[in-house]
Amino acid sequence: MQNRFLDSITMLDKPLATALAPLLHEQFCGHIDANQFAMLVEASGKKEEQVLMELLPIAAALANPPISEFYVGAIAKGKSGDLYMGDNLELPGEALFHSVHAEQSAISHAWLSGETEIVDIIVNYSPCGHCRQFMNELFNGSNIKIHLPQQETHTLSYYLPYGFSPADLNVTMPLLCKRVKEFSLNSDDPMIIEALDQMGLSYAPYTNTNAAVVLETTDGATFCGRYAENAAFNPSMQPMQMALSNLIRHNRQYNEIKRAVLIESSEGKISLVGATMDALHTIAAVELEHIVVEPMPA
């Protein structure tokens, strides 16, 4: 079992802790598939919603908040039945807008894993306005059920009445809808090829700045992040922040990063290079490789 879970697993009832412990191996990054979750529910002898609540300390153990020291854990349950844990992330000494909220982390975890609809969000503290707006960008977002400790379950529309959504800006395929945009680049570099693939899956309906980041660690592992825009603009999630959240969820350290690539579209109205460099140089002595590519003709 990973050391970061030693304290949180002691907070669980023994039947659930015993069933969960084998899943918390060195490769565990917060993903519990539907069959594993069914096994945990059966072992606990409790209802699904209660088990989800009891798993929150495990999600919070993934957090990395050196500024606030306030640990938030969230779980996104996909339509597939799989669970995707997320956590808050803060960059040491850096501006607060670089932070990743736990709900954003869980949602990006699901998105990177290929999930196309989230039906439940379980979180140990009430979602802030930033996160409510971020969730409202999702496919069928207003109907997502929000579960909080010792509170009744309500849909997002209860927490965000009169919400501003992609539809207000004439976007008909919101975040998590399956989409692929093609870009042209000749390269035999596996890391750049991965970045190009992730860029094609990114979500930038407001600026057309499709973008992705890939980080490579000293052992050759890679961790990606895609750009995810928001109708309210500020809650947009930067690809570097998503990649760093991905890295930390996998229990890797910033000092393991040896290479970083940002790839973005030439047709975008903005560039993410400045914000990406700021975040990277806060945590790693690595130069950012910045590549701009042309979209393929429709």
Catalytic residues: 103
CA 201 – CA 199 distance, rounded (Å): 5
Cα–Cα distances (Å) from 276 to 77, 98, 246, in that order, read 29, 10, 15
Is 131 assigned a ligand-binding role in the annotation? Answer: yes
Residue 199 near residue 210, CB atoms below 8 Å: yes
SS3 119: strand
Is 89 assigned a ligand-binding role in the annotation? Answer: yes
Residue 248 near residue 236, CB atoms below 8 Å: no
Q: Which two tokens stand for residue 205?
A: 């309906």
Pairing assessment for the beta strands 31-32 and 145-147 based on DSSP bridges: unpaired
Residue 59 near residue 85, CB atoms below 8 Å: yes
Cα–Cα distances (Å) from 62 to 95, 149, 249, in that order, read 21, 19, 6
Is 54 assigned a ligand-binding role in the annotation? Answer: no
Is 224 assigned a ligand-binding role in the annotation? Answer: no
Binding residues for Zn(2+): 101, 128, 131
Binding residues: 88-90, 101, 128, 131
